[in-house]
Amino acid sequence: MEDVKVKVKVDHMTKQFGDLLVLDDISFEVKKGEFLCIVGPTGCGKTTFLNCITKLYEPTRGEILINGEPVNLKKHNVAYIFQEYSTMSWLTVEQNVAFGLKMKKLPKDVIQKEVAEVLEMVGLTKYKDYYPVELSTSMLQRVVIARAFAVKPELLLMDEPYGQLDVELRFKLEDELLNLWKKTGTTVIFITHNIEEAVYLSENILVLTNKPTTIKEKLPNKLPQPRNVVSPEFIDVRNQVTELIKWW
């Protein structure tokens, strides 16, 4: 019987595209409520891995389990935040955030309550009637995050969502993400090539090699939160990850 505390189990997963071996016999577990960051070089297959979880790709060998069962997006509540800002330009902020809840055909009063709650969490209540074209870059990303959390996902996948933002905006949104994660208990798998971001956010850091991609190490991150990026302890963990990444 599977450990009920294990949310995601990746079991000897391999992904090939023709003769190109991208992911090579990868195995690891993500505990329920864990915040896992995955780091690796550009093009090593981080996004391919997430696309296997969402069933866009089928693993060539091995499997991915959620709650001990093969991934089934009709059964498992999985949300995905992409690198691009995936707001719908013809919908207001409120309508964008409500979209997933409407797809689930929830009662109107439930939708209104959930949307109001998550808009308040990300500081967008007074912008609920705005359209995406009227919003700043950071606000657009807040809309996307709010939409993901509104459906109360058991698993949230994030693919370099802050890669295009400047440092100040990135830290602000990372703090908001951590607050939402703590409030909701959602399991998060966060892809990034930014080592400092991985150390700032994670409970564990999975370091990948270059293609054909394997796991180099799963490094626990025991730093207390909130984290100070200039503290000796933070710099020490960052250096540990950097050393792992140096020798591809």
Whichever domain contains 52, its CATH number is 3.40.50.300
Residues 217 and 182 in one domain: yes
In a domain, 14, yes or no: no
- Of 121, 151, 181, the residue that ends a domain is 151
Is residue 58 assigned to a domain?
yes
**By three-state DSSP, how is residue 215 classified?**
strand
Answer yes or no: do 2 and 68 share one domain: yes
Co-location of 92 and 29 in the same domain: no
Q: Which residue has the higher pLDDT, 16 or 169?
A: 16
What pLDDT shows up at residue 85?
Answer: 65
In a shared domain, residues 180 and 193: yes
Q: Do residue 142 and residue 162 come from a single domain?
A: no
Q: Are residues 130 and 160 in the same domain?
A: no
pLDDT at 211 over 90: no
190 SS3 class: strand
Q: Could you tell me which residues are beta bridge partners of residue 16? A: 21
Mean pLDDT of 36-61: 88
- According to the model, what pLDDT value does residue 1 have? 39
* Cβ-contact 146, 79 below 8 angstroms: no
Q: Are 55 and 118 found together in one domain?
A: no
Pick the last residue of a domain from 105, 133, 151: 151
pLDDT tier at 8, thresholds 50, 70, 90: very high
Choose the final residue of a domain: 136, 151, 166: 151
In-domain check, residue 17: no
One domain, residues 99 and 221 = no
pTM of this structure: 0.91
* Residues spanned by the domain of 245: 1-8+23-77+153-248
Q: Is residue 120 domain-shared with residue 141, that is, in the same domain?
A: yes
Whether residue 52 contacts residue 45, with contact meaning beta carbons closer than 8 Å, is answered with: no
**Number of domains present in the structure of the chain:** 2
Residues 167, 124: one domain? no
Strand pairing class (187-192; 155-159): parallel
Asked whether residue 18 is domain-assigned, the answer is no
The predicted model gives 57-79 an average pLDDT of 92
In a domain, 16, yes or no: no
Query: Pairing state of beta strands 61-66 and 69-70?
Result: antiparallel
Residue 58 has pLDDT above 50, yes or no: yes
Same domain, residue pair 59 and 160:
yes
pLDDT at residue 84, as a whole number: 66
* Cβ atoms within 10 Å, residue 98: 25
